[in-house]
Amino acid sequence: MRGMNDLQKKSTKPQSGFTLILSVVLLSVIMVAGIELLNYASSGRQVTKRYQTSVNTFQLAESGLQKAIFCLNAENGAACGGNFGELYTGESGLMFGDGIINIEIIGSGDEREITATGLGPTGESTSIKSSISRAPSINTETQFEYSLMVMNSVSFSNNATINGGPVYSNTNFTCGNNAEIENDVYISLPGGKLDNCEVGGNAYADKIEDSEIEGDCFYDSYWVGSDCEGTRHSSQPTPIQKALPTLDEEFWHQQALIGGTIDGNYSPPDNSFLGPIKINGNLTLDNNCDVTMLGPIWVTGNVILSNNSTITLDSSFGYSGSVLMADGTFNFSNNSQLSGSGQPNSYIVVYTSNATDAAINVNNNAGAAVYLAPNGKVTLSNNAGAIAVAANRAALSNNAEINYDPEGQLTEMELMIHSIEASGWNLDEGTWRKF
């Protein structure tokens, strides 16, 4: 018996040792795996942070490139550190948000090379280099002689108002719920009707029904339930049909390409410069983002402005304007604004050839620009504002307001949008590179 117990004790000791060794090995494996997992997570965060930093510095560099082209084309140095045109050789230490932009321009004659560098708050940097050359001068204009011009359908109701300019419609025009028109109204549709409207000027339509007109009334033979404070003129011809304003889309595309191309959806940083530029994607401004527009902007996707964001023409535009155009749709909401240079008759024209009912949508105190949608619909609602609207279809409701001449400066009742590129500098195709 004693011999058997001794044998059991001898065999138990090796097993206990083996168990201890196995436990140590397993614990070591678990610790190594845990450390590797922590390293992996930390590495992932670092990669994400480096990527975000790279995107931010790239945006700063792009803004610097666009500003360089703008200053070379500028007619004064107010926004360019004092120098402009051929005397502009760049700037350094430009503060934008929590980053810095440096611009360097070398070369002479009609050829230059721009290097723009964006610096992050901890020293990270991205640089962009491109060659540019000088192009001849170009001038074009588009006229808007009506505050509202619509071709195929219109809805006008719920305290919507049109102030300043005349209204032209190639379709029946029915007003509802205290909607008001301050100036003249022209209905050019044969047999077309002006119905239930309050008009502060003259009215021109084949049929006038249930309307109050402060000026003279020109109609064919249909007059029902209406009040004319001026003189009634029956047996009048239908107003002449007119076409919507035209915008030279190809010209403006080429003007936008002067500043190069951004590939992918783009959300510019606050207080940045933008234009001339083509964006192959969507353009989004949100959360109090303010952008200064230096030239035409062409977006192949959609444009979204919301939550107190603004686009303002640079002061150097003076009495002229520029174009914000999209192949897709526009959506402006929640106090987003589009503003001119600060001078009379300086406006941004918002243009799209999109044919849908969502072509241009402005709501919730957003505005105010000139909106042109020759194929689609412009919708203004919930205190939205506009300077002029020209569209295939339009809807105004819920205190929407068009103020055709907000500053009282127009003398011939027309708005014009100009482009004057004085010896313009263009990016040379194929020379853009990032490093």
Task: Report how far residue 418's alpha carbon sits from residue 14's, in angstroms, rounded to the nearest whole number.
Answer: 95
Q: Omega of the bond prior to 276 within 30 degrees of 0, cis?
A: yes
Question: Considering the domain boundaries, does residue 324 fall inside one?
Answer: no
Report residue 420 as tokens.
């004057």
How far is it between the farthest Cα atoms of the chain?
136
Query: What's residue 16's pLDDT?
Result: 55
Question: Considering the domain boundaries, does residue 338 fall inside one?
Answer: no
Question: Considering the domain boundaries, does residue 78 fall inside one?
Answer: no
Q: Across the strands, what pairs with 371? A: 350, 389
Complete DSSP assignment for 84-133:
-GGG----S-EEETTEEEEEEEE--TTEEEEEEEEE-TTS-EEEEEEEEE
Segments forming the whole domain that contains residue 188: 171-241
Number of folded domains in the chain? 1
Up-side HSE of residue 113: CA atoms within 13 Å toward CB?
10
> End-to-end alpha-carbon separation of the chain, Å?
85
- Contacts with 88 (C-beta within 8 Å, 6 or more apart), sequence order: 68, 71, 72, 74, 77, 80, 105
Question: Considering the domain boundaries, does residue 341 fall inside one?
Answer: no
Query: What's residue 174's pLDDT?
Result: 97
Report residue 31 as tokens.
């610790």
State if pTM tops 0.75.
no
420 phi, psi to nearest 5 deg: -125, 100
Whether 162 contacts 180, CB under 8 Å: yes
Question: Considering the domain boundaries, does residue 246 fall inside one?
Answer: no
- What is the mean pLDDT of each successive set of 10 residues along the chain, which is 435 residues long? 45 52 56 53 45 70 90 85 89 89 90 94 92 70 89 95 95 94 97 98 98 98 97 98 93 90 96 95 97 96 98 88 96 96 88 98 91 98 95 97 71 49 72 88
Closest Cα to residue 101, out of 111, 110, 114, 112? 114
Task: Report how far residue 85's alpha carbon sits from residue 103's, in angstroms, rounded to the nearest whole number.
Answer: 15
